[in-house]
């Protein structure tokens, strides 16, 4: 199957079988996001999905974890998700779990009974773009969920149904001078909601994204990569999660800090301190892409 869009999935899913069931993101309106901006959201026909499954089966594939794509695969209605799961299981009985991206509002649209049904069929982990710990940042960035309280409510529902979740976050999302505040709010949120994994993609400033107009108009002051490093460091200091994978990627300055909390916390903090000391000697760097 030809993939449309830009692949963006947590590194924890690199070994999973990526099966697109849709193209783009049905929300597609976060101010910073350019992943699917050029695409009109559509669901792929089931026949096309099944042809892809047949292709992988005839090539000898035997996946254990299936990662359903794309931007918010969990937003598909219940009947469609059940049908996709059935098609996969019919060909690959050894599949143990289904993981996928979701928005907070995708969870809100499903009933508790639907969530339990999906969990019982192997839907295991949802990746949620919580991005920040601050309500005003959610609103400014036009996230589909407008409050952290709403995110917390929906995470509690999916956990009660038997699923786990992973957090996509972005240092720099609160802008220049607010890294410490964001780290404190986000750490408190993550310590309460206990994700199985935390992935920091850090904020990229795309010149074609709506956020860039805010930068040009002075409504959003970007944080430098040096600030983002310090924000990530503070977040790590405050995290108390046990059994949680952490992967922080500041790609513009090629600093990656990863490990398992709490086991590797001291090691990660050491690496991040060393990187911060190194980059503090340099002029400010901003993660701007054309
Ligand atoms: S929900 Fe995710 S994929 Fe969709 S626009 Fe927002 S950040 Fe991008």
For residue 280, with 0-12 CB atoms within 10 Å meaning exposed, 13-18 middle and 19 or more buried, which class applies? Answer: exposed
Asked if 42 and 277 count as a contact pair (C-beta separation under 8 A), the reply is no
- How far apart (Å, rounded) are the C-alpha atoms in residues 279 and 253? 9
In this predicted structure, what is the pLDDT of residue 241?
86
- How far apart (Å, rounded) are the C-alpha atoms in residues 81 and 86? 9
- Which residues fall within 8 angstroms of residue 147, CB to CB, at 6 or more apart? 135, 138
Q: How far is CA 66 from the centre of its chain?
A: 16
Split at pLDDT 50, 70, 90, the class of 290 is confident
- Each residue's pLDDT tens digit, 115-171: 999 999 999 999 999 999 999 999 999 999 999 999 999 999 999 999 999 999 999
In this predicted structure, what is the pLDDT of residue 10?
78
Find the mean pLDDT for residues 9-18: 89
How many angstroms separate the Cα of 64 from the Cα of each of 13, 15, 101, 218, 223? 12, 9, 18, 48, 40
In this predicted structure, what is the pLDDT of residue 13?
93
DSSP string, 97-112: EEEEEE-HHHHHTS-H
How many angstroms separate the Cα of 76 from the Cα of each of 71, 72, 143, 281? 11, 8, 19, 48
- How far apart (Å, rounded) are the C-alpha atoms in residues 103 and 76? 11
In this predicted structure, what is the pLDDT of residue 275?
96
| Phi, psi dihedrals of residue 39, rounded to the nearest 5° | -110, 145
In this predicted structure, what is the pLDDT of residue 182?
98
Find the mean pLDDT for residues 28-36: 95
- How far apart (Å, rounded) are the C-alpha atoms in residues 3 and 83? 21
| Phi, psi dihedrals of residue 96, rounded to the nearest 5° | -100, -30
Of 25, 38, 102, 141, the residue with max ligand 1 atoms within 8 A of its CB, to mutate for a pocket test, comes to: 25
Q: Which two tokens stand for residue 93?
A: 């009985």
Asked if 190 and 239 count as a contact pair (C-beta separation under 8 A), the reply is yes
Average pLDDT, the chain: 95
Split at pLDDT 50, 70, 90, the class of 9 is confident
Q: Is the pLDDT of residue 4 over 90?
A: no
- Each residue's pLDDT tens digit, 160-199: 999 999 999 999 999 999 999 999 999 999 999 999 999 9
Of 5, 36, 146, the residue with max ligand 1 atoms within 8 A of its CB, to mutate for a pocket test, comes to: 36
Find the mean pLDDT for residues 275-290: 94
- How far apart (Å, rounded) are the C-alpha atoms in residues 54 and 105? 32
Beta strands in 207-284 (DSSP E): 244-250, 255-261
- Each residue's pLDDT tens digit, 211-252: 999 999 999 999 999 999 999 999 999 999 889 999 999 999
CA 235 to ligand 1 center in whole angstroms: 23
Q: How far is CA 84 from the centre of its chain?
A: 22
- Each residue's pLDDT tens digit, 51-99: 999 999 999 999 999 999 988 999 999 999 999 999 999 999 999 999 9
Q: Is the pLDDT of residue 5 over 80?
A: no
Q: Is the pLDDT of residue 2 over 70?
A: no
The binding-site residues of ligand 1, defined as CB within 6 angstroms of any ligand atom, are 25, 27-30, 33, 35-36, 71-72, 103, 129
Q: Which two tokens stand for residue 140?
A: 């400014």
Q: Is the pLDDT of residue 1 over 70?
A: no
In this predicted structure, what is the pLDDT of residue 6?
63
- Token match 């400033």: residue? 205
- How far apart (Å, rounded) are the C-alpha atoms in residues 240 and 186? 12
């Amino acid at each position: 199957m030809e993939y449309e869009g830009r692949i963006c999935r947590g590194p924890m899913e690199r070994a999973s079988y990526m099966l697109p069931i849709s193209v783009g993101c049905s929300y597609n309106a976060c101010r910073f996001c350019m992943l699917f901006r050029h695409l009109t959201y559509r669901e792929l026909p089931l026949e096309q999905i099944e042809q892809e499954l047949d292709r992988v089966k005839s090539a000898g594939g035997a996946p254990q974890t299936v990662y359903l794509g794309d931007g918010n695969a969990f937003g598909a209605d219940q009947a469609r998700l059940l049908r996709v799961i059935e098609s996969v299981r019919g060909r690959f009985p050894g599949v143990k779990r289904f993981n996928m991206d979701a928005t907070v509002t995708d969870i809100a649209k499903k009933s508790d009974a639907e969530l339990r049904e999906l969990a019982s069929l192997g839907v295991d982990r949802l990746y949620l773009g919580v991005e920040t710990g601050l309500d005003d940042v959610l609103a400014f960035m036009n996230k589909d969920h407008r409050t952290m309280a709403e995110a917390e409510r929906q995470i509690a529902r999916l956990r009660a149904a038997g699923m786990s979740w992973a957090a996509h976050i972005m240092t720099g999302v609160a802008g220049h001078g607010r890294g410490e505040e964001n780290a404190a709010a986000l750490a408190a949120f993550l310590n309460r909601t206990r994700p199985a994994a935390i992935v920091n993609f850090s904020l990229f400033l795309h010149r074609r994204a709506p956020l860039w107009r805010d930068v040009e108009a002075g409504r959003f002051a970007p944080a430098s990569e040096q600030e983002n490093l310090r924000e990530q460091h503070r977040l790590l200091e405050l995290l108390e999660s046990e059994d949680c994978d952490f992967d922080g990627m500041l790609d513009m300055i090629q600093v990656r800090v990863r490990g398992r909390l709490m086991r590797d916390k001291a090691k990660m903090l050491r690496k991040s301190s060393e990187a911060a000391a190194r980059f503090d000697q340099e002029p400010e760097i901003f993660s701007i892409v054309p």
